Amino acid sequence: MIILNTQGIVLKAVRYKENDVILTIFTRKLGKIVAMAKGAKKNKSTLLSSAQLFSYANYTLKKQGNMYRISQSYIIKSFYDLSYDLEAFSYATYITKLVESSTLENQTNNRLFVLLAQTLYLYTQENIDKKFITRAFELKFLDYIGLRPVVSRCSNCGERNSDEYVFNVYEGGILCKECSTNFTENMKIDITTIRLMEYILSNDILRCSKAKVSKYITYELQRILKQYLMIYIDNVNFKSLHLLHELENEKGVDKGE
């Protein structure tokens, strides 16, 4: 029987029978796995805290057929408080579903693992622009799964010094003024947004979180990344953000999700 220890973050938790939980966990050493937490719903279970959604824990796993069984665990960070903040919970649900639906089982991606853990941590902090952090996560996520958009030069001719660019999802990035005339479905993009995308791609998300970004630039980034995700990511799910959109509209926010 194979036994190993690895850090992991719970992406999905489904109750099984009376007291068991089937977990989808994104781990450092194994990538995405499915694991059974026997008896985790019992009040005195040692697995209780580490079998909850968003839990960041160290797991001792035993391989059983196509599934793992959790024999021991200790919590590193539960992120349980996210459930008390609608905005934080909605964004956390969105990014964990994005990771769950876009990664293959048993395929490691340590950079993505660290990004997910850091982003969940940022969602728990006060005075953090969670909308901007989510946009930064999306951009870095695309980079880490091999779908990085081209933002440092024209994706068609390689021009770096154009005084005007557009973004074309189908061409995978920005187009200079001259090349843009050869393509349809171009999207307007501010040069400040391009520079911000370069900054996000060059720095970790903890440093990015300190940036002061206007609502307009955040909205423009969201508009572009949403289209990019819809084209390149199968079954991307924005449902967890719909309620936030409705609440923002009720409050008269000009630019929502």
57 vs 9: CA distance, rounded Å: 7
Per-residue pLDDT of 23-66, as tens digits, reads 999 999 999 999 999 999 898 899 999 999 999 999 999 998 88
Q: Same domain for 96 and 120? A: yes
Q: Same domain for 105 and 29? A: no
User: Residue 116 in contact with residue 27, Cβ under 8 Å?
Assistant: no
89 vs 20: CA distance, rounded Å: 24
- The pTM is what? 0.92
Q: Same domain for 119 and 214? A: yes
Is 256 inside a domain boundary?
A: no
Is 257 inside a domain boundary?
A: no
The residue type found at 190 is D
Instruction: Please report where in the chains the tokens 């081209």 appear, as a residue.
Output: 150
Q: Same domain for 174 and 213? A: yes
What's phi and psi for 36, nearest 5 deg?
A: -95, 130
140 vs 148: CA distance, rounded Å: 8
Q: Of 56, 78, 100, at which residue does a domain stop? A: 78
Residue 242: what pLDDT? Answer: 75
What's the structural domain count of the chain?
A: 2
Is 194 inside a domain boundary?
A: yes
Q: What is the CATH number of the domain that holds 161?
A: 1.20.1440.120
> Stretch 4-10: mean pLDDT, rounded?
96
Is 169 inside a domain boundary?
A: yes
Residue 163: what pLDDT? Answer: 86
130 vs 124: CA distance, rounded Å: 10
> Stretch 195-199: mean pLDDT, rounded?
97
DSSP letters spanning 29-96: TTEEEEEEETTTTSTT-TTTGGGSTT-EEEEEEEEETTEEEEEEEEEEE--GGGGG-HHHHHHHHHHH
Q: Same domain for 142 and 72? A: no
Q: Is the pLDDT of residue 247 over 70?
A: no
102 vs 111: CA distance, rounded Å: 15
Is 119 inside a domain boundary?
A: yes
Per-residue pLDDT of 101-149, as tens digits, reads 999 999 999 999 999 999 999 999 999 999 999 999 999 999 999 999 9
Residue 197: what pLDDT? Answer: 98
Q: Is the pLDDT of residue 8 over 80?
A: yes
Q: Same domain for 185 and 86? A: yes
Q: Is the pLDDT of residue 251 over 70?
A: no
pLDDT class for 255, splitting at 50, 70, 90?
Answer: very low
pLDDT class for 17, splitting at 50, 70, 90?
Answer: confident
Is 88 inside a domain boundary?
A: yes
Q: Same domain for 85 and 10? A: no
198 vs 50: CA distance, rounded Å: 36
Residue 256: what pLDDT? Answer: 47
Q: Same domain for 218 and 101? A: yes
Q: Of 40, 59, 78, at which residue does a domain stop? A: 78
Angle at 91 between CA 190 and CA 173, to 5 degrees: 30
Q: Same domain for 110 and 56? A: no
Q: Same domain for 55 and 89? A: no
Q: What is the CATH number of the domain that holds 13?
A: 2.40.50.140
Q: Of 78, 111, 134, at which residue does a domain stop? A: 78
The first and second tokens of residue 202, run together, are: 């060059």
Q: Same domain for 108 and 24? A: no
Is 255 inside a domain boundary?
A: no
Q: Same domain for 142 and 224? A: yes
Per-residue pLDDT of 162-191, as tens digits, reads 989 999 999 999 999 999 999 999 999 999
Residue 250: what pLDDT? Answer: 58
Q: How long a stretch of residues is the chain?
A: 257
210 vs 9: CA distance, rounded Å: 25
Is 185 inside a domain boundary?
A: yes
Of 62-76, 190-204, 232-246, which range is least confident? 232-246
pLDDT class for 206, splitting at 50, 70, 90?
Answer: very high
Domain span including residue 173: 81-250
Share of the chain above pLDDT 90, in %: 81
CA distances from 199 to 97, 160, 181 (A): 25, 16, 27
